[in-house]
Amino acid sequence: MSTDKSETTDTPAETTEADVMGELSPDEMVQLNALRRAAHDYTFQVGQTEIRKARLIQMLNSTEERAQTILNAAAKRMQIPEGTAWVADPDGKVRLQPEQPGA
């Protein structure tokens, strides 16, 4: 692997003939262009993944808010004082949580 720090850009800076050191071979150009396209495609996919992630987080937040609304209404219906710790078992039974010492 070369350690030179030359840049490869799609739009070369203005140069003079004296600046030209040579040319990439056709095979190098084909490979380089394929890698540029691949990098562009990966960047696009990462962006799409980030958008999907943001949407999933919104859906998760909405789901949690809806669940909390149901739990708040149930606590009110059962006259559980606000701030009281309780849990709903998978079978639907509601149980008060014992107070934690030092809490």
Question: What is the count of structural domains for the chain?
Answer: 1
Tokens of 47: 């962006």
CA distance linking residue 45 with residue 39, whole number of Å: 10
pTM: 0.60
The pLDDT of residue 27 is 97
In a domain, 5, yes or no: no
In a domain, 79, yes or no: yes
The pLDDT of residue 99 is 78
In a domain, 18, yes or no: no
Tokens 């209404």, residue located: 73
Q: Determine the structural domain holding residue 77 and report its residue range.
A: 23-96
In a domain, 11, yes or no: no
In a domain, 78, yes or no: yes
- Residue ranges of the chain whose pLDDT lies below 70: 1-15, 102-103
Q: Which helix (H) or strand (E) holds 96?
A: strand 94-96
The contacts of residue 78 (CB under 8 Å, 6+ apart) are 94
In a domain, 13, yes or no: no
In a domain, 69, yes or no: yes
